[in-house]
Structure 1
Amino acid sequence: MDVPTKINTWQMVEPGKLEKTTIDVPELKPGEALVKIAGCGVCHTDVGYFYDGVPTVTKPPLTLGHEIAGTVVAGEASLIGKEVIVPAVMPCENCAICAAGHGNRCLKQAMPGNSLGIYGGFSDYIPVPAGDLCVVEDKKDFSLETLSVVADAITSPYQAAMKAGVKEGDVAIVIGGTGGIGVYMTQIVAALGAKEVIVIARNKEKLERALSFGATYTISTLDKDAKAISGDFRAYSKEKKLPNWGLKIFECTGTKAGQEIALGLLTFLSKLMIVGFGMVKTEYMLSRLMAFEADIMGTWGCLPQYYKPVLNMVLEGKIQVKPFVDIRPMSTILKAYEEAHSGKLVQRIVLTPDF
């Protein structure tokens, strides 16, 4: 298998500015692998880094992109020739946080497009730690680039569901359940047995689609404030005789409006998971948490050991991916950023190298 000496890449040289360039393939250390990239998804986090100047661990110039699938071409001998998904966050496995079972939030973690040196997924090759690569033994009728979204858009919601303890019979609410992560959050809680999955979002057409992908009921936020949306949910709960406690709420938008809706729905013994990233500040009376004995929790990335079961859920059809993916050449990266930044995308863009 040919091993390149150069990596073609689209670097962010400063926030808002991209440059196509080449960088050297580094000398691989023991336990590392060089992956030929099949595709890399455009995540909301990438867009935030690019336009809003959200600080990455590695400062520009660096290559963004952390939703990666590809083929190992060098490094760890047992993996050469294997098709793999690269976890969005790869823990060090050698610290107290990892030992405590929270490797997804390891402070020494390697994240492409953030803390893996200058290397990211909007390239044709990437050097990565080999230990946590998720091998795709049989991708069935999926293209490898389609499966790149498993690296974050699907596994991160799964981590949130695990942390929330979603179980058979739960009532789950997904705010932003029609977005890039929300469509998978909706499907995951449904697949895990939630008896009611209420999706709250703006676009009525996308909400109608959500009913075919795990949602049992939808509420449009169009021309409504958080209080009105809460009223709609209470009316539905009363009609369906749902409990007013123990809700599992997933805020996937990262917006002030989404967070305010989520906080307005929080009630007794409920859990609110903050899944969507944003830079907004939202006020809340913390004493309500005491009165409700409720939890608000953040969730970051996904433990590498969850990747295989999530991949199996995709391959078995429990989580639908193809309707939500739009594969494009990597040379269209700037347009992809612009469209993702507009917030109007129906599908998640996956870029394939065409240098």
Structure 2
Amino acid sequence: MPQHVQGVIAPGRNEPVRVETIVIPDPGPGEAVVKIQACGVCHTDLHYKQGAINDEFPFLLGHEAAGIVESVGEGVTDVTPGDFVILNWRAVCGTCRACTRGRPWYCFATHNAKQKMTLLDGTELSPALGIGAFAEKTLVAAGQCTKVDPSVAPEVAGLLGCGVMAGIGAAINTGNVGRGDTVAVIGCGGVGDAAVVGSRLAGAAKIIAVDIDDRKLDKAREMGATHTVNSRTADAVEAIRELTGGFGADVVIEAVGRPETYEQAFYARDLAGTVVLVGVPSPEMKLELPLLDVFGRGGSLKSSWYGDCLPSRDFPMLIDLHQQGRIDLAAFVTETIGLGDVEKAFARMHEGDVLRSVVVL
């Protein structure tokens, strides 16, 4: 029987979000209803509100979440009611050309729930990244549920559902940071700081954090950066080269998603070094680089989707590392809030003084 719950919607482009009653259908084949315990406020949610992703309003916001499986539909065997899960937005299909070649993190046919959640009047909602977790409960594809150790705090676990996984994965999975490498991270919000954590975990010898905000640079040092550069007052490329013996970094992770910072990343890497773009650009942005420089510098220019993660592999591993004290996922949680505080959380995000506001239900 359909359930009525409270959830946060974005009704239209740049309109204030509001709490509404959401209708959650019973799970159909391959689907699951999850009772949400915590959900991080991610910049992608703000992009949805601003219409920067698409214009399929109204959106049910929230996607960086953890909770308890309440019920499952026909044919679901990987999760059962009562399982503690992190939600992911790339449920792999297992049958596309990437999956059958053993590279499921590049799955070309990721999927979501087929049924729609609605408002009371029947208006269909577009769930952010196919999840919609600023709600007491949500409907997802069962493959979007990844079981992890239930002893971890939900507000910590949920962060792996997007930003923290994207940053750690950009360093470890996409950038292949190795022992003794030099790494530069441009942009020190939640994703950038996670890239710092991932680089430290991988054994990087030098981790250079770049931002225009000294508060963010201080936090990056706490997370493991060995050096910081304020690019408002210094030339980021020259500073990175100076800190790497004049060569540039082995891996440069661009966590902003702007042409000017990507260009910094391109020229701040060593010859045959790697650039990883994990910051999300907006549709109108264009990049212009001399093609001869692209050819002459060699190396790799990579984009990192979701940290090139495989949730079933990476989420449990990172939870284990957190519980062992090898990474501190709780350090990303700046504040916990309620459903009615999401609009204020977006404002704090603009001010730059939070890594993550986390909605706790």
Closer, same or farther: CA 166–40 of 1 in aligned 2, 3 Å: same
Q: Which moved more, 1:76-85 or 1:121-130?
A: 76-85
Q: How many Å apart are 1:127 and its aligned residue?
A: 1.5
Q: Which runs of 5+ in 1 are unaligned?
A: none
SS in 2 for 1:322: helix
Q: What code does the residue aligned with 1:319 have?
A: I
Give the Cα–Cα distance (whole angstroms) in 2 for the partners of residues 22 and 104 of structure 1: 35
Counterpart in the other structure of 1:74: 71
Instruction: Classify the secondary structure of the residue corresponding to 2:11.
Output: strand
For 2:23, the equivalent position in structure 1 comes to: 24
Aligned-residue sequence identity (percent) comes to 26
Contact 1:102 1:303 in 2 (8 A): no
**CA separation in 2, counterparts of 1:222 and 1:246?**
20
Which residue matches 1:262? 265
Aligned equivalent of 1:334, options 312, 336, 343 = 343
SS at match of 1:85: strand
Greater shift, 80-89 or 280-289, is seen at 280-289
Change (3 A) 1:212 1:329: same
Q: Structure 1 residues 191, 261: closer, same or farther in 2, change over 3 A?
A: same
Is 1:155 aligned to residue 160 of structure 2? no
Aligned position for 1:213:
223
RMSD of equivalent CA atoms: 2.3
Q: Go from structure 1 to structure 2 and tell me whether the alpha carbon gap of 1:193 and 1:271 turns closer, same or farther (over 3 Å shift).
A: same
Of the structure 1 ranges 100-109 and 291-300, higher mean CA displacement relative to structure 2 is found in 100-109
What's the offset of the Cα at 1:188?
0.8
Following TM superposition, by how much is the alpha carbon of 1:23 offset from its aligned partner in structure 2, in angstroms? 2.9
Question: Which of 150, 153, 166 is the equivalent residue of 2:177?
Answer: 166
Say whether 1:323 aligns with 2:331: yes
Flag structure 2 segments of 5+ consecutive residues without an equivalent.
Answer: 113-125
Aligned equivalent of 2:127: 113
Q: Deviations over 1:131-176 (max 9, x none)?
A: 352223243xx42123211111221123322122111111111111
Matched, 1:307 2:315: yes
The 5-angstrom pairing of residues 22-171 of structure 1 reads 22-55=21-54, 59-75=56-72, 76=76, 79-110=80-111, 113-114=127-128, 116=130, 119-139=131-151, 142-161=152-171, 162-171=173-182
Give me the whole-angstrom Cα distance separating, in 1, the residues matched to 2:60 and 2:105: 21
User: How far apart, CA to CA, are the structure 2 residues paired with 1:273 and 1:343?
Assistant: 26
Deviation digits for residues 261-314 of structure 1 (CA, Å, limit 9, x no counterpart): 212213311110000112232321132121111211111113222222122222
Q: Would the aligned equivalents of 2:149 and 2:316 in 1 still touch at CA under 8 Å? A: no
Supply the AA of the counterpart residue of 2:30: G
C-alpha contact (below 8 Å) 2:184/2:249 kept by paired residues: no
Residues of 2 paired with 1:7 and 1:94: CA distance?
A: 35
TM-score by length of 1: 0.87
1: distance between equivalents of 2:12 and 2:327? 37
Cα deviation, 1:162-209, whole Å, max 9, x if unaligned, reads: 122111111111111x31111111011111111111111122233233
Q: TM-score of the superposition, structure 2-length normalised?
A: 0.85
Match of 2:116 in 1: none
Residue 315 of structure 1 deviates from its aligned partner by 2.2
